[in-house]
């Protein structure tokens, strides 16, 4: 309910000053590395394929024609089009939007730092994420832990996410959450187990990178063979004190493979009975033109600021909370 009396910011001025300083530190970090800042549109006539992320829409008319615009959940597609056009390494610091439940760590509008490094793989990009955090924390050296997805499950659950049967995953999920016995999708079970058991246990003393995800969770990342010879996604996520901060890929450059993944997402959305939306096929066209070998990562600025300021709710680090609108 709209209340005109709630006009004051949800964050105090000291926190907003820290926010401004964080932005300045980030821009100095990338300027020193000759990474160009870009500014892509928040609105687009097309959107993402991911069946697990819902988007905010805006409806209007132009020349008598009804149009649906999508608020962007990430600048990824537009930034990759810039990369295909020859931009070189780039970053963006700005607002993104997701139609998800508002909560302690979630807002429908939030600030994302996303960057792409031409010539990097995901290992090199993990190094740079670590360097950025060290700069933000004003540390000469920061040692982040690195665990493979498989190692994390074995350490905290004694369960192998790659070889365990569906029934074993169902029982594990039920044991820890009381849900899962009826679930037939392996990735849904793995994500439930990870978020409930693994995520709260990792990155408590120092930030922790989880890497080498199952190929079914590759999203827009390359697939490669790990040291054990099993196929894994060249993807990582960063966790700190039980909170997911970043998600990065050694980016998929194959247009045909990307189209196949888009088609699989479309079918998944149909099977789930989700609302149809226009997918952004311009990314496929750009990939046909040629995406340079690169790695990219998205980092949640509001969540990072929550940790830096020791705040428990995202409202405390943004200027105006949407819950108070």
Distance CA 215, CA 234 (A): 9
Which has the closest alpha carbon to 223: 257, 191, 256, 190? Answer: 257
Specify the long-range contacts of residues 26-30, CB closer than 8 Å, at least 24 apart: 26/93, 26/113, 26/132, 26/136, 27/93, 29/131, 29/132, 29/135, 30/91, 30/115
Which whole-number Å values give the CA distances from 169 to 195, 212, 227, 257, in the listed order? Answer: 14, 19, 25, 29
* Per-residue confidence in pLDDT tens, the chain, 325 aa: 678 888 899 999 999 999 999 999 999 999 999 999 999 999 999 999 888 888 999 999 888 888 999 999 999 999 999 999 999 999 999 999 998 878 888 899 999 999 999 999 999 999 999 999 999 999 988 999 999 999 999 999 999 999 999 999 999 999 999 999 999 999 999 999 999 999 999 999 999 999 999 999 999 999 999 999 999 999 999 999 989 999 999 999 999 999 999 999 888 888 888 888 888 899 999 999 999 999 999 999 999 999 999 999 999 999 988 754 4
Asked if 306 and 312 touch (Cβ cutoff 8 Å), the reply is: yes
Residue 282 tokens read as 């311009």
For each of the domains in the chain, give its residue range(s) and CATH number, in order of start: 13-141+256-324 (3.30.930.10)
Asked if 303 and 253 touch (Cβ cutoff 8 Å), the reply is: no
Distance CA 163, CA 159 (A): 9
Asked if 44 and 68 touch (Cβ cutoff 8 Å), the reply is: no
Please give the helix or strand (H or E) that residue 80 lies within, else none.
helix 76-84
């Amino acid at each position: 309910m709209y209340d005109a009396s709630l006009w004051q910011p949800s964050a105090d001025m000291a926190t907003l000053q820290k926010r401004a300083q964080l932005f300045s530190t980030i821009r100095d970090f990338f300027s020193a590395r000759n990474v160009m800042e870009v500014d892509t549109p928040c609105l687009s006539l097309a959107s993402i394929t991911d069946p697990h992320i819902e988007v905010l829409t805006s409806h209007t008319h132009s020349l008598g024609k009804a149009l649906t615009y999508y608020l962007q959940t990430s600048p990824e597609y537009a930034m990759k089009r810039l990369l295909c056009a020859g931009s070189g390494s780039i970053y963006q610091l700005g607002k993104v939007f997701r139609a998800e439940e508002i909560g302690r760590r979630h807002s429908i509008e939030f600030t994302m730092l996303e960057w792409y490094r031409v010539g990097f793989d995901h290992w090199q990009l993990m190094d740079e994420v670590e360097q950025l955090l060290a700069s933000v924390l004003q540390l000469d050296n920061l040692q982040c832990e690195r665990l493979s997805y498989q190692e994390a499950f074995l350490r905290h659950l004694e369960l192998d996410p790659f070889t365990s049967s569906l029934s074993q995953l169902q029982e594990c999920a039920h044991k820890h959450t009381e849900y899962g016995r009826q679930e037939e999708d392996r990735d849904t079970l793995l994500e439930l187990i990870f978020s409930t058991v693994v995520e709260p246990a990792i990155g408590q003393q120092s930030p922790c990178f989880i890497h080498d995800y199952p190929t079914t969770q590759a999203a827009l990342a390359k697939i490669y063979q790990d040291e054990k010879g099993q196929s894994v996604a060249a993807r990582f996520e960063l966790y700190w004190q039980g909170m997911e901060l970043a998600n990065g890929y050694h980016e998929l450059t194959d247009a045909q493979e990307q189209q196949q993944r888009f088609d699989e997402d479309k079918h998944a959305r149909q099977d789930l009975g989700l609302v149809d939306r226009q997918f952004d096929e311009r990314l496929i066209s750009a990939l046909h033109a040629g995406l340079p070998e690169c790695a990219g990562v998205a980092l949640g600025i509001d969540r990072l600021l929550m940790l830096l300021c020791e705040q428990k709710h995202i409202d405390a680090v943004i200027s105006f909370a949407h819950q108070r609108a």
